[in-house]
Structures are given as C-alpha cells and as structure tokens.
Structure 1
C-alpha cells in the first residue's frame, strides 16, 4: 500500500528541513508528503519546494482548523494510508514509518499512533509525562477495553498517526470546527464503529514541550472545552482520574530519583492544569472575551 504523509505547518523553518530529510530516508518509502501551510512568513515554502516528493498547499490566515485543515489535505492525498504528523516532531530513526503502518489492516486495526520521546532539553516532569503516556509495549484498543482503560481507550495523537484511507473517510475523517483533540474524537468514532486502534511503541518520534504554568492552564482549558462540546464522543467517561493517577505516579518518580525539590513545581503545574480543565468545562457560562484570554486556541470562539 502507498503512503501519503500530511503535515500542517506555520513558520516551520527551524523544523521542516530535518523532518523532511528523515521522512525521505525511511525504510518504508512514502509516495508523497503534503504540506498544508498557514501563511508562513519565513522560509518554510522555499525549503519544502526543494523536495520533489513534497506537495505544498498554502492556505490563508483564519482558515486553519485542527480537523478541517487535515481533512482538506487528506482529500488531495492519493495514498492507501494517511500518515499525519506535526511540524515540531521528527522520526527517531529510519524505521518509524514501517513500524507505524505495518499492522494496519490486520485484525480490524485501522489506525495507529506512535511513541513520543522527549527532546534533550525537556524538563524532568515533561520527561516523566512522556514515559507515563507512551510505554514500551504495543497496545491494541477496542470497544471492549473501555471499562478497563476508561478515557485512555481513546487516547490518540496526531503528532504521529496513521489511518487506512478508506476507513478514515468511512467515519468522515476528523471532526471539523473543534478546538483540539480531533485525534481522540476520530479514535472514538473508529472504536465505536467496532474497529481497533493500535499504539505502536516502536514507531518513535522526538517531541516535547516545556510549557509554563499559564500555557498548561490554557491547554487544559481547551481540553475542558472539548469534553463539553464533544461529550457525545466520550459517552460520559471522565478524564479526571487519569490526571490524579499521573500526579501520584510523578511524585513517586521524583522521590525515587531524589528530586524532592521538584515536587512543589509538580503540584503547582498540576493545579494550573486542573483549574484550566474545570473552567473549560463551564466556558459557556463566562463572557466570551474572558474565554478567549484563557484559551490557547482563541480563534475557535470567533463564531460561537
């Protein structure tokens, strides 16, 4: 099967050459790389146009939508498999595409996502978060796993994901006009269509963020908005327990590694996440101006 890679970009100059070089030197070759770019003002386009395999699709400011933009690029793709990435992640090795896609089509597996490993400059809590969310072993998730895994059943990431094209469109692709988590929503749609999703532990990319407290607040505010506006996809499953589990595990990790001084930072960081999430769940009760200030993706509320 042929593979199309889709990458939304905006001012990706510092990342894109490294990413394209690694994607064009994979053990399993890709047919095309579609860059859908939102009005970059740097050298993103000129770098991309040096690669014959790249199709560059410019869009205007104000047109970007997490799900809609990816769907727009997917409609131009000709591969039997769609691989989605983000501009700030890059394959750890030349086997990334092979490991991400090799099980698609087997045993009702129609989508997969890979492992994220932290950058060298990642802080200790970010490093632990990557280990907490991305383990060493493959996981196949289906509707039968909901009672056991809860919201983790739908955990999925477009930082590095792959879909069988036919099954992607059978559920109408990504949801459009959603503030974020379009990846978890499509995973939910596939799972409730009696399909399976794979976590491919050996398909690794390097990707992490050292978010400030306020950035954590804003990101989790938007997650709260998702669980309010798209609650039908998650069938009443709560995510708070997963957050509590993370904090407890992180404290044990810090203590085991004699990093006690980081525990107050963890508590404050987790507090910003929790408060942001809870406020996001009731955003509709607040003035729209305040809501936009609390959101990482304020454009979502322009037409609310």
Structure 2
C-alpha cells in the first residue's frame, strides 16, 4: 500500500479530553490521511490515549517543545507526504469534509499554505465568539505578495490550530523556525509569499477552536505577539501594519454585542485597551529584563531557551 500524501500532525500536552474529541472528529472524515501525534511527556493519560487511537505517536520531553521546532521536527522525521495539516489538540473538525476542504486549494500548484476557518466553541463567551467570526469569515480567498498593499499584514495571516502546508514550499523557505516565541505559522506564510508562493484561506474547511481568555491571559498573549513582531520587523516592513484593523475590530465587537448587551461594552473597551498596552509594551522588550518578560508573557519556557 502506498503512503498517503496527506498527514495530519497534532502536538499534544496534558489534553486528554480535548484530544479524544479531536480524534473522534478525524475518524469521521471523508479524506484519506495519516494521523501523526507528538506528545510532550503528558502526565494525564494523553499519551496513552494517543497510542491507543493512533499508530504513529512520538514522544519528546516537555522541556524540548518548541512551537516551530517541534512542528519542523515532525515534518523531517515523517517524510513521504506532500501535504501536512497541522492542528492543535483543543480544536476539532466541524464536519466530515474538513480535511478534504483544507487540502483542496493545493490543486493550484502555486499554493504553498492554506488556513482553515475557525468557528467558536459552543461554550465560547460573546467576546471569544466575536473574535472568531471577525477573523475567520466564510468567504475563501487566495493571496499573493501583490495583495500586500491592499490587505497589509493580513496577507500572511494563518493559524497553527488548523492549517496545511505543501512540503516543497515549506522546505524551500527553511521550514518552521525554532527561534520565534510563537507565530511560526505567520513566519512561514510570509516567507512563502516572499518566495513567490500563494497562501490560501479556505472558508469551507471548518474547525471549532476558541479561547475564553481572562484579562490577564489576554495581556500575556498579546505581549508574546508583540515580542514576535519586535524581533521579526521584516514582516511589517514587507507587508505593512494592521492598517486600522484594530479600530475596525473594536467597532465590530461593539456592534456584535449590540444594545441588548450594552453593559458589556465597558469591559470590551477595557479588554482591547489591555491588549494594545501589552503589544506596545512588548515593542520595547529589548529594554526589559528577561525575568520580567518571562512574567509578562504566556509562553514562559521560551525565555529559558537559547533563542530568548
């Protein structure tokens, strides 16, 4: 039997319940693919569940996990696939055609990466629900570097929770980077666009994925995002900034809440102000002590790595 050309790669860590839900959704898919799991030494039964449900499971020490490095390690240690679909353990597919739909844009040989649509989890808060509906619309599009003046940094938008990559394009741009704190997906998409590849957004490829972040978690998340952009200034230099996207987001969120939920407006404005503060602060991260940055950010292990 020949090796299937599509691999679904799932990094896991202490997420047994989430992984079971994801694997159940993968079992219902109409497409043919292999499922590859890399577990970071879970202690809650995640590894045991993975081994029971999936024949291709690899284990690493939790201290060795790296957002980009671990994903690239899986690509290099699992050759023979043309396409790699990456999902996070806390996502799951919304219908049986999710995998088939996310690989469809690769029929265009110039497409190097595809981002799927994320719908909010059923228990999402109104703010978490709006975030997914705003950032992941139903309409599909294929983007090239020529779209940067119109779309700005959104040209390179992609998410590691549900995205797919052509191996040829991925390896051509050097693979997923090890040195970034997060957003290894955007880094690769931007490199592909620079190299002449296209990046697609496929609205028909749907998964469920969202976070009910606390205010503190929002701050830490946006601090890490800001660190990424501060250390990779070439992305904004090449594609431009958000171009007023932040203001459009705030207005959209208030409209989404509507008069019926007007009591939530102050909290919405405050939360967005906190995110902006975290992002602006992290733009000056080179002047901050490492211990403080570790406390301010979400991905704390990064600051103990040689890349910090």
TM beyond 0.5: yes
> Is 1:245 equivalent to 2:248 in the alignment?
yes
Kindly state the Cα deviation for residue 25 of structure 1 after the two structures are TM-superposed: 2.4
CA-atom RMSD in angstroms: 1.4
Structure 2 Cα separation of the partners of residues 74 and 54 of structure 1? 17
Is 1:66 paired with 2:67? yes
Contact 2:11 2:37 in 1 (8 A): yes
> Which of the numbers 11, 14, 22 marks the counterpart of 1:8?
11
Distance 2:198 2:168 in 1: 14
Residue 258 of structure 1: CA displacement? Answer: 2.2
TM-score computed with the length of structure 1 as normaliser: 0.95
Question: Number of paired residues?
Answer: 301
Pick which of 135-144 and 106-115 moved more: 106-115
Tell me the residue number matched to 1:143. 145
Q: Distance in 1 between matches of 2:257 and 2:29?
A: 37
Whether the aligned pair in 2 keeps the contact of 1:66 and 1:177 (CA below 8 Å) is no
TM (norm. structure 2) is 0.94
C-alpha separation in 1, matches of 2:260 and 2:109: 44
Deviating beyond 6 angstroms after TM superposition, the runs of 4 or more aligned structure 1 residues are none
Deviations 1:188-234 (A, max 9, x none): 00111111111100100011111011100000000110111111233
- Going from structure 1 to structure 2, the CA distance change for 1:240 and 1:271 (only over 3 Å counts) comes to farther
Contact kept in structure 2, 1:7 and 1:84, CA below 8 Å: yes
Quote the Cα distance in structure 2 between the aligned partners of 1:82 and 1:107. 15
Counterparts of 1:272-287 in structure 2, within 5 Å, are: 272-287=274-289
Describe the superposition over 1:78-123 as per-residue Cα deviations: whole angstroms up to 9, x where unpaired: 3211110000000001100000001204151121010111111111
Q: Which runs of 5+ in 2 are unaligned?
A: none
Other structure's SS at 1:136 match: coil
Q: Give the number of the structure whose residues are more often helix, by fraction.
A: 2
Q: Pick from 17, 20, 26: which aligns with 1:17?
A: 20
